[in-house]
Structure formats: structure tokens, C-alpha cells
Homo-oligomer: A and B are copies of this chain.
Amino acid sequence: MELAPFMAPKHVEQFKALVKEGFYDDLDFYRVIDGFVAQGGDVSEQKTSQHNHTLKAEFSRPAPQNTSFLPVQKPDFMAPETGFLAGFAAGRDPASKQEWLLHCPGTLAMARSNEANSASSDFYIVIGQATRHLDRNMSSFGRVIYGMPAIQALQRADINNASGVIDEPSKRSKIKWIKLASDVPANARLNVQVQNEKSEAVSQRLASARTLDSEFFHFKGNGNLDVCYYQLKSRLLSQ
């Protein structure tokens, strides 16, 4: 997962501190709803940690003067404008001058109760159809850049269970451990390369998508792009 301190600095700081102390190790994905999110953390509130504090919401940020936001779609279905921001699918509102990260598949965000400033350590990863109604409602602080197939294979809650909480701990997929890449020896680290949104490859992909210019497509669309579908791709480099 790549973290987004530029958007949610306090969430990233706390998540890293919790990871570093092994807070998440041996916990599990206790709420997993197919087509929605996989949520992990300390559902039984058994762990104590000096780092597990309630966080102030970081749903969006004021766009800095020199923002690197790269527009892709205007207007978007759910936002005045969408595009990329430092490698993440993002939204922007020229009126309020706010920027935020979108809820696309792979987005990492902190769970919370109804209260905006109530997130602490339980997190979720979007595993379904973009849950864009959560945009500007949750503190998104990262995204999965490698390993979504493993996340998609996590044990789901029973189809009849609307809450999605898997009551029986033995039926939950475990979090063996979470580590910071910087704490893994270089020769054991995955070498993941992520597309740069300013690259020729990305701009060609988007241009081609706007007109569906391959001969495969007989209906040529309306020119609108769902940036969640065009997230920046990753590949593994050899060590």
C-alpha cells in the first residue's frame, strides 16, 4: 500500500506508528462485504496502545497554490472534477477549493462511527464498485498498489448478513502482520513500479479511452471517463 500523507497526515502518522509497534499483527478482517469494503482492526478492543488515539477528520484538504492535481474528467458524476493527485485518483471542487481522494477499488481509509472525528485504528480497503458516496465523508489515506487479488480473496460475511461483521472469529481472514516497507530489508522488499500520471503512457491511455478508438469498440461512448477505472497501474520489477 502507498500512503498519502499529503492528504491525511495525522492518519498516516498514526497508522505508521501502529504498524511499527505490531498493533495489527494477528488481528483480522472482521467486516467484509462483497462489492463494498474489507475492514480490519481490533473489533474486540483487546489491544492497548499509546498510539491508538481518536483522530480529527481529514476528509479533504484546501488545494495548495501549486497543486499537482491533473484533471481527467469535468464534470464527474460525483464531483465537479476528478483526476490524479500525486498518484492517487482524486476529486476537486473549484468553488470550495478543496481536494480529496476518491473511493476507488483499492482505496485505504480509516473506519469511523457516525461522528466525523471518531476514526482511530480500524481501517478498510475498497473491494467493490467504487463507493463514491463515501468521498468527502471518510479520511482516505492510501491505496493498494500490489496485492488486490489477495484482498479480493478474503473471507466475506454471509450473504444474509447485512452488517457484514463476521461474528465467528475462526471464519475471519487473519492479518498475519503489517510492516512498513522501510523496515523490510531491501533484498526482501517488493519492487513495485507505479505509473506516473504525467507519463506519455497514461496520457495515451486516457486519450484512447475518451474516444474508444480501438476497432474493438463499435459504440464509441460519450467521452466521459470514470477515473476509478483508469487508476494508475503497477508492475513488479525484478529485485
Q: Which residues of A contact B (CB under 8 A)?
A: 34-35, 57, 59, 76-79, 104-106, 114, 116, 127-133, 135-137, 146, 148-149, 152-153, 155-156, 159-160, 209, 212, 214-219, 221-222, 224, 226, 228-229, 231, 234-236
The chain B residue with its CB closest to the CB of A57 is B218
Given A35-B105, A77-B224, A229-B130, does the pair A215, B114 have CB atoms closer than 8 Å?
yes
B-chain residues with CB within 8 Å of residue A148 when the two chains form the complex: 34-35
Given A104-B129, A129-B105, A133-B209, CB of A160 within 8 Å of CB of B235: yes
Residue from the list B136, B146, B156 in contact with A219, Cβ < 8 A: B136
Q: Which B residues are CB-close (under 8 A) to A77? A: 76-77, 224, 226
The answer to whether A114 and B226 touch across the interface, beta carbons within 8 angstroms, is no
User: Taking A137-B217, A159-B235, A235-B160 as contacts, is the C-beta distance between A34 and B152 under 8 angstroms?
Assistant: yes
**From B137, B146, B159, B221, contact of A218 by CB (8 A):** B137
The answer for the CA separation of A227 and B8 in the assembled complex, in Å, is 30
Q: Are A229 and B78 in contact (CB under 8 A)?
A: no
Cβ-neighbour of A78 out of B105, B135, B215, B224 (below 8 A): B224
Given contacts A34-B149, A130-B129, A130-B229, contact A236 B160 (CB under 8 A): yes
Pick from A34, A57, A160, A236 the residue with the most CB of B within 10 Å. A34
Cα A90 to Cα B129 with chains together (Å): 16
Contacts of A79 in B (CB 8 A): 222
A105 / chain B contacts, CB cutoff of 8 Å: 35, 128-129
How far in angstroms is the closest Cβ of chain B from A102?
Answer: 11
- Flag if B221 contacts A133 (CB, 8 Å): yes
- In the complex, the answer to whether A156 meets B149 with C-beta atoms within 8 Å is yes
Which residues in B have their C-beta under 8 angstroms from that of A236? 159-160
Smallest beta-carbon distance A11→chain B, Å: 16
List B contacts of A222 (CB < 8 A).
Answer: 78-79
Pair A229/B104 contact, Cβ less than 8 Å: no
CA separation between A156 and B148, bound complex, in Å?
A: 10
In whole angstroms, what is the CA distance A116 to B216 when docked?
8
| CB-CB nearest in chain B for A193 | B160
- What is the distance, in angstroms, from A149's C-beta to the closest C-beta of chain B? 4
